[in-house]
Chain A
Amino acid sequence: DQQVKQNSPSLSVQEGRISILNCDYTNSMFDYFLWYKKYPAEGPTFLISISSIKDKNEDGRFTVFLNKSAKHLSLHIVPSQPGDSAVYFCAASAPETSGSRLTFGEGTQLTVNP
């Protein structure tokens, strides 16, 4: 049972435009959400996170939105750059799991075209 789902395996956008990556979850106990970026032949790197007490968190060109009622979060990248081309993973954790155990989505391959 996939508790965190990224329904789009791939997304292609033009440089300078907005990239929107989506993530849905089913476990209502999740209270912390993260996005990781992964380049080929490297490990995932932390990008941005959001707590369930917020509905938006911004860090430079990256903004994460959380809609708790819809159990949906999204990552906005504005403006998109070719260097943003990577696989993006959504992840979530629940308070009863101490020590930061994460559940990951399947990932979305973002391609930013020059």
Chain B
Amino acid sequence: DAEITQSPRHKITETGRQVTLACHQTWNHNNMFWYRQDLGHGLRLIHYSYGVQDTNKGEVSDGYSVSRSNTEDLPLTLESAASSQTSVYFCASSLDLQETQYFGPGTRLLVL
């Protein structure tokens, strides 16, 4: 079955370290998204991609970067982790011209 996976599911890191969260989808979707979920804010868009080599900044992109070298993967990198980046991170994907996004199970990140 086609799916979207995220790894790791849980991560503890220290302030200042570089962290990369993986997202992999097997639906062959062109569009991929990264969100963070925080209490009182819902889901906020960090970065998104409409296809290979395409990346765009979302609402809360500072301190994060993404790269899209193939259709299946959109890794999210925290350049220098900060305590404010402690959150739950969700990856999602969708087909072109369709609004429904399918979400991965999430990565819970704690920055100490």
Q: Given contacts A43-B104, A43-B106, A46-B101, are A99 and B50 in contact (CB under 8 A)?
A: yes
Q: Is B102 an interface position by the 8 A CB rule?
A: yes
Indicate the size class of the contact surface on chain B: 20 to 34
Whether a CB of chain B sits under 8 angstroms from the CB of A84 is: no
CB distance from A37 to the nearest CB of B (A): 11
Tell me whether B100 and A49 are in contact (CB under 8 A). Answer: yes
Binding site secondary structure of chain B: strand
How far, in whole Å, are A98 and B96 apart by their CA atoms in the complex? 8
> Chain A's nearest CB lies how many Å from the CB of B94?
5
Count A interface residues, CB 8 Å: 26
Residue of B at shortest CB range from A43?
A: B103
Q: Determine whether A59 belongs to the interface, using a CB cutoff of 8 Å to chain B.
A: no
Flag if B99 contacts A100 (CB, 8 Å): yes
Pick from A41, A98, A107: contact of B105, CB under 8 Å: A41
> What sequence of 0s and 1s flags, for each residue 60-92 of chain A, a beta carbon within 8 Å of any chain B beta carbon?
000000000000000000000000000001010
Whether A44 contacts B43 by the Cβ 8 Å rule is yes
In A1-31, which residues have CB < 8 Å from any B CB? 4, 6, 9
Cα separation A41 to B100 with both chains bound (whole Å) = 21
**Which of A4, A6, A44, A93 contacts B103, CB < 8 Å?**
A44
Instruction: Give B contacts to A, CB under 8 Å.
Output: 4, 30-31, 33, 35, 40-45, 48, 50, 90, 92, 94, 96-106
Show the binding face of A for B, using Cβ within 8 Å: 4, 6, 9, 32, 34, 36, 41-46, 49, 89, 91, 93, 98-107
